[in-house]
């Protein structure tokens, strides 16, 4: 194994460790905890955007913003590592393609999202999933902007790390597109 390949492998593990890999491991451990709780999954809830400081709105806002800010840092790290190596691969904003990208994004969101919702609803119906609570934030002036920023942060992190960085690095290491797609799908599924 070449030195560059070992360096790339370590780099990939580190980037994943501070980004979506952390989320995937946390989700798996959380699921084990829910299974060990002695209650049926169908009687438990999972909150995606909880309050960080209930009863303290300004502290809650500050903690939400800090979480969002530091949530994008791994994506910028991944971009930096690629740029350092002179690899951009079109991972940038291209104004001439806005309509095309928006159209494809909408189609992909529907192709991925609708079956995902169907699986969630089916698993709820047969009692093998928790109830997902999208948010549990206080109803304040900043609630909607924080939820939008959180969604943008998650999308940016996932697209840059999984679609951009991870795809490029795995292709450099193996050149096997099937492995790249499988690793991307497993990471997305486990961390989502």
- Which stretches of the chain drop beneath a pLDDT of 50? none
Residue 118: per-residue pLDDT? 93
Q: What is the pLDDT of residue 67?
A: 96
Determine, yes or no, domain membership for 81: yes
Burial class (CB in 10 A: 0-12, 13-18, 19+), 32: exposed
pLDDT confidence of residue 89 = 57
pLDDT of residue 190: 64
**68 burial via Cβ count (<10 Å: 0-12, 13-18, 19+):** middle
| Structural domain range at position 13 | 3-93+128-191
Answer yes or no: is 158 within a domain. Answer: yes
CA angle 42, 32, 25 (to 5 degrees): 120
Closest CA to 49 of 164, 132, 169: 132
> Quick one: pLDDT at residue 104?
84
Model pLDDT, residue 141: 96
User: Is the residue at 114 inside a domain?
Assistant: no
To the nearest 10 degrees (0 to 180), the angle between helices 3-17 and 57-84 is 170
Q: Is the CB of residue 166 less than 8 Å from the CB of residue 16?
A: yes
Q: What is the pLDDT of residue 1?
A: 65
User: How do residues 51-86 score in pLDDT, each as one tens digit?
Assistant: 999 999 999 999 999 999 999 999 999 999 988 887
For residue 100, how many other CB atoms are within 10 A of its CB? 10
Contact (CB, 8 A) for 8 and 170: no
Whether 64 is in a domain gets the answer yes
What is the per-residue pLDDT for 49? 94
Q: Is 163 left (phi over 0), alpha (psi -120 to 50) or beta?
A: alpha
Residue 122 lies in a domain: no
pLDDT at residue 156, as a whole number: 92
Cβ(67)–Cβ(149) under 8 Å? no
- Number of separate domains in the chain: 1
């Amino acid at each position: 194994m070449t030195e560059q390949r070992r360096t790339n492998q370590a780099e990939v593990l580190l980037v994943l460790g501070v980004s979506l890999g952390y989320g995937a491991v946390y989700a798996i451990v959380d699921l084990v905890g829910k299974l060990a709780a002695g209650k049926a999954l169908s009687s438990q809830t999972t909150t995606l955007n909880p309050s960080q400081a209930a009863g303290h709105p300004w502290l809650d806002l500050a903690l939400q913003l800090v979480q969002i800010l530091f949530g994008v840092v791994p994506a910028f790290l991944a971009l930096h590592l690629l740029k350092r190596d002179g690899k951009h691969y079109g991972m940038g904003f291209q104004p001439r393609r806005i309509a095309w990208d928006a159209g494809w994004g909408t189609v992909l969101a529907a192709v991925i999202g609708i079956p995902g919702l169907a699986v969630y609803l089916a698993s709820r119906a047969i009692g093998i999933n928790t109830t997902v609570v999208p948010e549990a934030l206080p109803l304040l002036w900043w609630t909607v902007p924080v939820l939008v920023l959180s969604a943008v942060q998650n999308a940016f992190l996932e697209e840059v790390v999984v679609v951009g960085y991870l795809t490029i690095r795995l292709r450099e290491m193996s050149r096997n597109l099937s492995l790249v797609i499988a690793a991307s799908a497993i990471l997305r599924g486990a961390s989502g």
